[in-house]
Amino acid sequence: MACRSIVERCSVQYHYADIQNHERADGAFVLMVNEYQVDCPEMTFDIVFSANVIEHVRKVWRWLPELARITKIGGHVICVNPVSWPYHAAPVDCWRLFPEAYHALFDEAGLETVFAWHGNLVPIDRHWLREHGPGLVTDTSRSAGRIPRIDQNYAAASPIRGEK
């Protein structure tokens, strides 16, 4: 299910940016000036959500401060990236980030890590999950009662800049 269809069910206003600037006729498009700059004022959005994008950003240490800039104080930057997905240039494929990488990059970007979690394709042991993965929702219907493999890393952070 596309991210947009998820948030629209919640009556959330949705905007999107695309490095190739593929504008649709829906009025929700935000122009990318270049691969590290979004054409909008500071503190515009409550949530900036990046799903399977960060691995395609050449210089994430330049890009994440831009996400922090356009996120309101008290808002969140949420990033999701694959763990072991095969190389897939679109136009480049540079990174597989783990929680420690998110902590370091968020800190450098002026973001405070709220949550960081690592998935993998190795079968997840139920004892490990009980200790390290509380709250993880799993769909066991397709895995015959086993815990499915999750090929994603998740991280969320909030801006920590001073009052304007």
Q: Which CATH homologous superfamily contains domain 39-159? A: Vaccinia Virus protein VP39 (3.40.50.150)
Name the pTM for this structure.
Answer: 0.75
Q: In the predicted model, what is the mean pLDDT of residues 154-162? A: 76
What is the CA 21 to chain-centroid distance, rounded?
A: 19
Give the 3-state secondary structure of residue 130: helix
The pLDDT-based confidence of 137 (bands split at 50, 70, 90) is very low
CA dihedral 22→26→32→38, nearest 10 degrees, is: -160
Structure tokens, 150: 């999750």
Confidence check: pLDDT of 1 > 60 = no
Confidence check: pLDDT of 111 > 70 = yes
CB within 8 Å of 64: residues ≥ 6 apart: 77, 105, 106, 108, 109, 111
Domain ranges of the chain: 39-159
pLDDT tens digits for range 11-42: 777 788 877 777 676 778 888 899 999 999 99
